Every structure is written in C-alpha cells, then in structure tokens.
Amino acid sequence: MTEHTTPRQSGISCDVCRDLAPLVADGVASADSTALVKEHLAHCETCRAEFPELCPEATETPATPALPDEGRVLRRMQNKLTLWLLGFLVLGLGGSMLVVFSPHSTLALLCFPLVCGVICWFDDFLWRLVPVLAAVVWFVWTLAAELPYYTSWQGAVIGSATGALWPFVFCVIGALAASLFKYAFGKTGKEK
C-alpha cells in the first residue's frame, strides 16, 4: 500500500480522502466533503484502488442519495385519497337516490348514513359537504319528478324542500356514528 500524504490537485491529501471516504459511502458526509472526495478520486489512482477496500459495499464513486420531499409525498397521497372520496361521494349519493326511488326505498335509511360515515372516517373536512349535497340532490331530483303533479310550482318547491331534510338528517347521523367509531378506535385528526 503506497502512502500519499501530500495534497493532490484536488486540494485534499490521500489521508484525508481515506478518512472521508467511509462517510461519503454511508451518505452522511456534507456536500462539500463529498465533492472533495469525488474530486480527489478522479485524480488519484491509488485512492481509487483503495476505495473499495475502505467501503466494500460501494463499487463506484458514491453519490449522495436524494431524499424525497416528505411534505410533497404526503400532499400527493392526501390528494389521491380526496379524489377517491369524491368519486365515492358521487357514486354513493347517486346510488342512494336510485335506491330511494326503487321498490327497496327503505335501504335509503342505510345508504345516506353509510356514504357520509365512510367519508367522515377518512376525511375530517370533506364529510361536511355530504349532508348539504345530499339535500341539494334530493331537492333537485324530487322537484323534477314531482313538478308535473303540482298545480303550482310553489307547492312542488315546498314539498321537495321538506323532503330534502331527511337525507340531510340521515347523513348527519352517519357522520356522528363514524365520529363515535373513530373515537372508540382511537383514530383522531391529531395523528395526521
């Protein structure tokens, strides 16, 4: 083993390169130290030959690994979950409305609370839209269906608005049930 203790063209000696090389290989050296070691290894054949002995797991000049931005990854995951929940919301409310006007209309007692409860379980904010959307969808749907049967449009509006209270109430009941389950299982918004 040849000892080079004089500074090379890179600005650090072979001894300093040998001291820093394991830190660079482990990815714990600073960016300046990493750059100095890489520069030295580019100019010194002896250290290049010794580097695999100093860090047997490295086969080539190490590069500092780029760590993902945790905040960006979490935002992407939250956005994807929100899109899935919005899709579930649209399908759930549409399916609930179809069930209401089918021969199995008593299933609506389960559909509206279930949709709101599932969304409440996964998202602490989005569920607040569900009762309002359910009431609006119910109002528009029943108004369009019953308008021809009323002699005045005011009667149809009042009848549809009165009927729209039930989906709102059922959705709130589902949100309360989901909140109780979240509390019972220890899933709180603070964990996010």
Rounded to two decimals, the pTM is 0.51
Over its C-alpha atoms, the chain yields an Rg (Å, rounded) of 33
Cβ burial 130-161 (10 Å sphere, 16+ → b, else e):
bbebbbebbbebbbeeeeeeeeeeeebeebbe
pLDDT exceeds 60 at position 78: yes
118 pLDDT higher than 60: yes
Tell whether the model's pLDDT for residue 176 goes beyond 50: yes
How much is the pLDDT for 66? 63
63-76 pLDDT tens trace:
555 667 788 888 88
| Neighbouring residues of 110: CB distance < 8 A, sequence distance ≥ 6 | none
pLDDT tens per residue, range 123-151: 888 888 888 888 888 888 778 877 777 66
CB atoms within 10 A of CB 44: 20
Token pair recorded at residue 84: 């899935």
